[in-house]
Amino acid sequence: MAIQVRRAFKYRFYPTDAQAAELSRTFGCVRKVYNLALAARTEAWARQERVNYNQTSAMLTAWKKTEELAFLNDVSSVPLQQALRHLQTAFAGFFAKRAKYPRFKSRKKSRKSAEYTTSGFRFREGKLTLAKMAEPLDIVWSRPLPEGAKPSTVTVSQDAAGRWFVSLLCEDPSLKALPLVDSAIGIDVGLDHLLTLSTGEKIANPRHERRDRARLARAQRGLARKAKGDGANRAKARRKVARIYAAIADRRRDSLHKLTTRLVRENQTIVIEDLTVRNMVRNRALARAVSDAAWAEFRRMLEYKAAWCGREVIAVDRFFPSSRLCSHCGALRGRLPLHVRTWTCEGCGTTHDRDVNAAKNLLAAGLAVSVCGAGVRPQRRSPGGQPTSKQKALRREP
C-alpha cells in the first residue's frame, strides 16, 4: 500500500560567484525581515496587542518603500514572505506552549537559509533555476528524485563550513508499507555499545568525535590564537574547525541512517526507552560521549522511518527499572551502579548481562503496552516472592 508522504531530498550544489553573491544577499535580507517583524510583534505584545502574518506582510510592503530598507527590493520577495510565515509558525508554537518565545537571528550564529515556493523557482528537465538568477544551479544529483516529482518548496542553505545545499520538498509515491513480519525487538542504548538488542546482539559505538578529537583540538587552538573580529585569518580558521565538525556529523548521520533502516526493515515492533537526553548532557563527565552517541537523532530517524514503512515504535517510560529487573523471574534488584555490567539475581540465580537484560525487559514491557494496554512499571516484589499476573504478562516472549 502506497503512503502519501512529502520528503525532502537534499543535494549539494556549487554556485557561481554571481549566484553566491545573490544568495548571500538573500540570506541577509531574510534575517533582516525576520528580526524586524519579530521586533514589531514584540512591541505590540508589550502593549497587549497581537500582530498576525497579514499585518507583518503589510509592514514588509511599507519597509520596501523606505530609503533605509530599499535594498529589500533587490532580492526575491518569496523568501522574505516565507520568513514571515516561519515567524508566524514560531509564535503559534509559543502560544500553544510547545516552544519558547522566538529569538532574533544572529548574523554569525544563525543558520543561513532561504525558502522558495513554486512562484520563486523553475524546475524543468532536471534543472533548477531560482528567482533573480539567469542560470540554473549546478547541483550534484547524488540520488534521483521520484519519477514525475514536482517540488513544492525549495530551501537553499549554507553551513558553517561554507558548503551549499539545496533541499527539494516533494511527494514520494514510491514509499510503500513493508510486508508484515513476525518479529519484535527491544533496544537498550549505551556508551560502551551504542545499541544492545534483546536478541543479545551488541552494536559497537563508533565514537565519531573521538576519532577526530586531536585534529579538532589543534584547529580550535589555532582559532583561539586569531584576533577576534571579522578578519580573514580568523574566518579561515573558523571554517577549518567547521569542516572538521561537518565531517564528524556526516559520518554520524550516515551510520545512523544505515542502522535505523536495517532495524525498521527487519522488525515489525521496536521498543526503546524514553530518555531525556537534554538532562543527561548536563552531566559534565558524560556530556561529550552522550552527544556523540546522538540517541535523540537515532530515535527521530527510527520513528519517521517506521511511520513510512508501517512499523511500530514503542517508547517505554524512562523510570521503568529495565536494568534492575530480572528478565527471568521478575525479581527487582536494589541499587545497581553504572560500573556493574553483570549481576546475578538473588531469586533465581540467573546471571545477567546488564544491557541485554535491560533490552529484554524493554521488549516485554513494550509488548504488554501494545497488546493489552498495560503500564510499563510492573508491580515490584522481593526476590523469592510469587510474580503477579501483570509481571507474567511483562515477561511473555514475543
- Among all residues, which ones are annotated catalytic? 188, 273, 355
The answer to whether the beta carbons of residues 314 and 324 sit under 8 Å apart is: no
d(CA 138, CA 161): 19
Q: Measure Cα distances from 277 to 14, 288, 291, 297, 323 in Å.
A: 36, 12, 8, 10, 18
The C-alpha cell 584547529 sits at 219
Do 102 and 69 meet the contact criterion of CB atoms below 8 Å apart? no
Q: Please report where in the chains the cell 549566484 appears, as a residue.
A: 19
Question: Torsion angle, CA of 153/312/302/82, rounded to 10 degrees?
Answer: 20
- β pairing state of 164-171 and 6-13: antiparallel
Sign of the dihedral through C-alpha 83, 85, 89, 91: positive
Helices vs strands, H then E, count in the chain: 11, 14
Instruction: Return d(Cα 323, Cα 326) in angstroms, integer.
Output: 8
CA of residue 61 relative to chain centroid, distance: 35
Q: CA 255, 220, 191: angle at the middle one, nearest 5?
A: 35
98 with 90: CB under 8 angstroms?
no
Q: What share of the chain is helix, strand, coil (3-state, %, to 5)?
A: 45, 20, 40
Burial of residue 75 (CB within 10 Å: 0-12, 13-18, 19+) is buried
